Chain A
Amino acid sequence: MLKVKFLLPLIAFVLLVALLAAGLSNDPRKVPSPLVGKPAPDFKLPLLNDPTVTFSPQALKGKVWLLNIWASWCNACRAEHPVLNELAKKNIVAIVGFDYKDTNAEARAWLKKLGNPYDVVVTDQKGLAGFDYGVYGVPETFFIDKKGIIRYKHIGPISFQDLDKIVIPLIKELQAEK
């Protein structure tokens, strides 16, 4: 009985260390999105390659699609871009590019230089539609199912590791749904 008493401070200390370690390994920049589980907000935005034409996600009803928010001024997006190109090659999902607070000329130059993984690119120069998606840091990627519900939000650049571990399995899972 006495021995347990002596061990109590040590146990308390170990628990505290475990708690702090768990806290430290959390990325505070990854704020859980309240939009997961809710319908993807609608928007009507001009296309990058033809600003006179608008696009709305309603055209994708019944399909699984990704909404990738990016910008040519965003460094992390540059790191993510080859991963998106790789995903596009697999041709398993529709990828909508969402050019956030960018200029069309710079965005076009970026895609010309680094390749275009997107099925369609819309532009949100003022970030108004971005507001509805709770965009706070680019890149962000929303995974939307066949019913138009946001199922997952990836915050920050998708790495090749994420692609194999999270993105592709999730897309397959969503594609298998009715």
Chain B
Amino acid sequence: MRIFIFLFIVLQLNSVYAGVEFRQFERAELEARYNVLIDELRCLVCQNQNLKDSNSDLAKDMRDKVYQMISEGKSNQQIVDFMVERYGDFVLYKPPFKTTTLLLWLGPLLFFVIAMIVLFRIIRQRTQTESVEITAAEHQRAQALLKSTLKKDDAS
């Protein structure tokens, strides 16, 4: 039984990392950086996959490039800039904050503010409609009723 579980896990892992080649790094820190980068960069062919997940030829080339640049001692920023220069912001899974992406970043906040304004308006309207307005005649009648009950109270 145990051997089957073991095999199952091993085979699962195999399919998960099918798109990633075996790489050798001088230091563990470089490998960690490599893994972060191929996780953050998007493959342009299969657009909803990152470089780590994608089996496409282009993703492999891009992984090779990332590996090569890390081995050359380039910083993460240099590698990301290199990719953005060629493929545009689309290559980043997390888009940068700039004028063209303003709506993307602030859109949810904008919708939240609009929703809050609408909500407060509705609440205000409701509280206003609950205060009933009465005419002068009704007011007199109410006062007369109050007086009569007060007198009764005095008498008892």
B84: A residues at CB distance < 8 A: 34
- In the complex the two chains form, is B86's CB within 8 Å of A31's CB? no
Main secondary structure on chain B at its contact with chain A?
helix
- In angstroms, Cα B89 to Cα A164, docked, is 31
Main secondary structure on chain A at its contact with chain B?
loop
- In the complex the two chains form, is A31's CB within 8 Å of B88's CB? yes
- In the complex the two chains form, is B88's CB within 8 Å of A137's CB? no
User: Count of chain A residues with Cβ under 8 Å from any Cβ of B?
Assistant: 15
- In the complex the two chains form, is A31's CB within 8 Å of B87's CB? yes
**Which residues B76-124 have CB closer than 8 A to chain A?**
84-90
Q: Does B36 contact A (CB under 8 A)?
A: no
Chain A nearest CB from B23 CB (Å) reads 19
Chain A nearest CB from B55 CB (Å) reads 15
- A131 in contact with B47 given A101-B57, A136-B58 (CB within 8 Å): no
Q: Does B144 contact A (CB under 8 A)?
A: no
Count A-B pairs with CB separation below 8 Å.
32
- In the complex the two chains form, is A131's CB within 8 Å of B86's CB? yes
- A31 in contact with B44 given A134-B86, A136-B87 (CB within 8 Å): yes
Besides A31-B90, A101-B57, 11 other A-B contacts (C-beta < 8 A): A31-B44, A31-B87, A32-B90, A34-B85, A34-B89, A35-B86, A131-B65, A132-B86, A133-B86, A134-B87, A136-B58
The 3 closest A-B pairs by CB, nearest first: A136-B44, A134-B86, A34-B88
A/B interface sample: 18 pairs, CB < 8 A: A28-B47, A29-B47, A31-B87, A31-B88, A31-B90, A32-B88, A32-B90, A34-B84, A34-B85, A34-B86, A34-B89, A35-B86, A101-B57, A127-B61, A131-B65, A136-B58, A137-B44, A137-B45
